[in-house]
Every structure is written in C-alpha cells, then in structure tokens.
Structure 1
Amino acid sequence: MDTQDTRHYFASESDEAIIFKKLYLLGFQKESFLEKWKYFESKGVDSLEDMQIRQSIREVMTFYNPITRQSYYNIPTWVYLYRKGSKFFRVRRIENNDIIIPPKETECWRDFWNPPEECITDYGRLNYPAESLLYTAVESPNIAIEEAKVKENESFVLITYEAIEDVYATIVGFHQDSNSLSETENEKTKLLTLFFKNIFTKEVSDQEKELYKISSNLIKECYTLNDGTQDGWVYPSIANKMGHNVCFNPISASNKLKVAGVELCKKENLHKFLIYYVLDNLNEESNFTYHLIGSEVQKQKYPHIKSN
C-alpha cells in the first residue's frame, strides 16, 4: 500500500493484480452468479458453523476460466485513508437515564474503549462472540446516536476520538470503476460488490442476531487483510443511510486513536442533543473531573460547544 497516495481511497493496481482480476472476470458468468446468490440466501446459512458459512461465500464467488482451466476466487477490495486528525464518535447509553456524577459508564478509562472480550457473548455485525472491536461513527456524532438507538429524552455518553496517525480501513460494499478494466469487467465487479453490500447492510433486529453470523464471516473471509496494514473497516451506517461507521481492531484503536473528549448528554429530538457535562483529566489513572457547560474548563477544553 502506498502511504503517499493522495487519494482518499485506493486499490491494488499492480500488473499481477490486474491480470488476476481479468482472468477471474473472464470466467465470471452473470446468470450463474445470480443463481448462486439466490441459492445462498435461500438455504439458511445463518444456521451453519462459521467455516461452513465462509465456504458458502467462497462457492458463490468462485468461477472457472475455460481458457486457463482453473477456478478463480477474487474479492474487489478498496481501502479508505483517514488522515491524522480525523474524528470518530462512539455513544454509550446511560443506564436508568440518570446523569448522576459519576455515571457508571464513565467510572474508568477502560469504559471509553472497546468492551472486555468476556462481555461479548453474541455475534455482531463484524465480530465473533468473545471478539472485542471498537465500533465508531464518522462524519457526525448524530450517526453514533442513531446507531446506539438513543430515544428522545434519554441520556448518553458521547466519546470523541482523534486519529494521531493515518488510519487505513477496508471499505465494505464499495465500488469504483477501474481504468484498467473494460466496461463489461467493471459491471461484473460492481455486481460482485452489490452481493457483499446486500449481505452486510441487512437490517437485523434484536431477535435476529444470529443473522450477524453471515456479516461477521463475510468480514473474516473477504475484507480482512493479512499484511498488517489494515486498521479496521468502513461501512454504510445501517441507522443513518447517508452516514458511515468505522470499526477498529483493538490494537490499531490503542495505537492510532486518542480520546479527544467525553461529554454527558441528553437527546432532545431527532436532530438535537443537549450537553450537560464535559470531562477533563482524561487519562489511564481515571481521575476524571466533571464540568458544567459554561465553566472555564469547558470553554478552554471544549470550545466548540455553545451554551445550551
């Protein structure tokens, strides 16, 4: 990966990568792909074991090239670059809806990061059980509020992270035409990407969490790089169709993010929330201090906040 690339998103365009894509796409048959896609959705793969689900995904994506007489399996992968200084947001709902200082959701430094592995008992959109990832929103804290399903008049903790190094995130369900491919080849690649996006952005209720087995295995099979350059994944927000989320692996989160701010808030309506307290002394010793809006600490450390 070229760290000097000035674009925000990029994919491997090496000669070897282009040749492999062309060999794969030569064997790709739209009708066959659509049939395999339909079969994949009809056979209830969420009831399978993890490796069986990943094998089912591979079967949909694998095509035979009659010229080389080989089967090929290819994933169109793009990486998004978030520059140093980019902001990411996470929301934690406050239990019992009472802002009592300190709320138990901000008692220690660990509360601001991904949860302990022993607390992860179910599949998530990207994670396996007992796999702890840091889920954040990008672009606006309102996206994080919607993702956390905060209701009107409910209280929550808003955590803002800032990238202290450039962040590289694999893009889930993203397509852009490549100048190295023909119009027909780009159309085939776009169709492949639509398959991934359809799986990953499926809305899942609290009663359907087993369906996360499919999206989490899709991430492991298709969007996890093994070259040490990937910090996480960026994907369309499910709650806010115009927004995006970024999920970090815990090592990259620890190495490339800092906690830039923590605020205690209450949602007023769909587009507005009120901030009541800001936290200072944000450090691993957890000796946080709490300050009202209008205080000198708030004016100095959180100057972007206007009086409620």
Structure 2
Amino acid sequence: MKRSNKFIRKFISTRYNIPGYQDQSVIEALLNAQHVLENASDLSVESLVRLLPRQFILKTNVIDWPEGSILLRSRLMGVTDWREAGYWGRSEFWEAPAKSVNSFGRLNEPGESVFYLANDPTQTFKEIRYQHGRNQHESVVLSSFIVKREFQSTVIGAHDKSVSVANIYSNMIHILFSYPSEIYGNNVYKLSNYLSNFYNYVPGSPQVFAYPPVGNSDPAIMNVAFVPEDAHQYLNYSGSVVIPSYQDSIDGKITVAFANDENFNVVDPSSNLKWIKNNFMISF
C-alpha cells in the first residue's frame, strides 16, 4: 500500500478537464482488459502500463464502517495439532513485522507489512488458502476485531453496469483482485500493487482500502487492508478461536477447539456459543 510519488491523483468533475486528454475507445478498452486478465500470470507491470490509457480514469466508491462493525483475520498455525503451536504473544494476533514479509501480497511489497481482514469468517479461510494443499490439514486461529472509531474506505474495483472505458477497467481491476494466487501465481500481486496507486484514501479516514474477495461474488463480502499503525487506532482486538481442521469446517460446520477473550483469558467454547457467534459470526 505504499503510494508511489510518480502518480498524480486528482478528483475531477469531467475527464475533459485533463490537459491533453485523449479518449480510448470502448473496443480498445475491452480488448486491453481481456488481454490483462488472460495474461495475469506473466504480464509485466511495464506491459500493463502500455495497455492502459494515458490518462487513466476509474469508477470509485466508498464504504462506511460504523462503530461496532466486526472484521476478522485468519492465520495458519503451522501445525496440524493446535496444542503443539507453543506460546503466542499478543503481537502475534496483529500484523506481521515488516522484516518478516518476504513476498508480494495483494497490497504489499516484500518488506512491507499490511494488516489484512475480511467481514466474513469463511472468506478469511479463502484468503489464506486454507482449503488448498497442506494448508487444509493445519489448525487456524480466527481473530475478531471491532471497529472502535467509525471510518470510510475506498473500494478498489468498484464498478457498475455502464458501458464506458472507466467502467471496463474498473471491472477488470475487480476481477484481477479476486484472482487466487494458487492459480495465477504471485505475479497477479505485482499487478494489483501497481493498480492500487490509482486509488486514493478517503480524506479524514485511515489509510485503508476495501477490495474484492477471492472466489466470492457476494457484493456484501469485502476484504480490508490497513496500514498497521492506523489499524491499531481504529480497531480493538476482541478475541480469538482455534479451528483445528478445515475438513471439519466445510459448509460452515466449524469446530472450535479453543478460545480466548480480548484480555487473553481462556474461554470455554461450548459454554460461550453466543459470544462466539457475536464476535466471530460462526455457529458450531
């Protein structure tokens, strides 16, 4: 989510206010967008830039996150038996240290920490690829965070049904952000990082973007990416649960083996079903 200083970002009332503006036709935009999506696995950022209009205009939208909203985050525990995970300090439930980030993510470069969440528990599983390969045999920690200060976030990839160059490229970005890396590779993250530069944070709100989820067409489900410092200012940690096996969590049949509250006190899952439902949006 680093903002490149090579970009000039402006809110405009009409594209014709841009000096030297030249239209790209709808046909050109459709062909270019199709090329990007069909070649996302190996298309370079330089090739992407050559396909985009010289003055790149996108649809934009803002989503409100009221006080009390719940955002969730999953993390693989690295073990198949959660009891072998060892001690987790409080910082383990927040963002990864920047020095530990060795690869591109949807909105981060190597060496950059971004705090990723979603507003749906099963979506957090998809985002960490819990259902693929060896991941499905690992235990997972699902953590809940409550919005303590209302904020707004720009939605990356917001689009509508209109036929315009701006909407064609906005829809392209929506689709690209939902591409899973296990199919399209990490190159798709390089493209999404570059394209995020065309979006602005909402003035007066934290440095945060909302963006489309992987493998989910439900418009109500959204991913959220925070600059970590702002996440701590706008979110309160409200507890975690351990889900021991993906195989036991298919179709929403989630098993909770362990739980702790916001103060890291151990909570008996079977005696606190309402608390789990209210904070993690799951029933078991």
The answer to whether the superposition gives a TM-score over 0.5 is: yes
Structure 1 match to 2:254? 273
Tell me by how many angstroms 1:145 deviates. 2.1
Tell me by how many angstroms 1:234 deviates. 1.6
Q: Does 1:142 align with 2:122?
A: yes
Structure 1 match to 2:240? 262
Which secondary structure does the structure 2 equivalent of 1:96 belong to?
coil
In the alignment of these two chains, the number of paired residues is: 263
Cα distance change, pair 115–217 in 1 and its aligned pair in 2 (3 A): same
Cα distance change, pair 113–20 in 1 and its aligned pair in 2 (3 A): same
1:200 & 1:174 partners in 2: Cα distance?
11
Contact 1:293 1:307 in 2 (8 A): no
Q: Does 1:188 align with 2:165?
A: yes
Aligned pair partner of 1:28 in 24, 27, 39: 24
Q: Does 1:82 align with 2:75?
A: no
Tell me by how many angstroms 1:212 deviates. 1.5
Structure 2 match to 1:119? 100
Structure 1 match to 2:269? 293
2:125 & 2:40 partners in 1: Cα distance?
32
1:175 & 1:293 partners in 2: Cα distance?
41
2:176 & 2:188 partners in 1: Cα distance?
10
Contact 1:88 1:137 in 2 (8 A): yes
Which structure has greater strand proportion? 1
> Counterpart amino acid of 2:94?
W
Cα distance change, pair 281–159 in 1 and its aligned pair in 2 (3 A): closer
Tell me by how many angstroms 1:210 deviates. 3.0
| Greater radius of gyration (CA) | 1
Tell me by how many angstroms 1:118 deviates. 0.9
> Counterpart amino acid of 2:24?
F
Structure 2 match to 1:5? none
> Counterpart amino acid of 1:29?
S
2:261 & 2:40 partners in 1: Cα distance?
49
Identity percentage of aligned residues: 20
Tell me by how many angstroms 1:199 deviates. 2.8
Moved more, 264-273 or 117-126: 264-273
Tell me by how many angstroms 1:132 deviates. 0.7
Tell me by how many angstroms 1:108 deviates. 1.0
1:259 & 1:36 partners in 2: Cα distance?
43
Which runs of no fewer than 5 residues in structure 1 stay unpaired? 1-13, 64-71, 178-182, 283-287
TM-score w.r.t. structure 1 length?
A: 0.71
Tell me by how many angstroms 1:109 deviates. 1.3
Cα distance change, pair 293–32 in 1 and its aligned pair in 2 (3 A): closer
The two structures, once aligned, show a CA RMSD in angstroms of 3.5
Which runs of no fewer than 5 residues in structure 2 stay unpaired? 1-9
Where in structure 2 are the equivalents of 1:193-212 lying within 5 Å?
Answer: 193-205=170-182, 208-212=185-189
Contact 1:58 1:73 in 2 (8 A): no
> Counterpart amino acid of 1:203?
P
> Counterpart amino acid of 1:115?
A
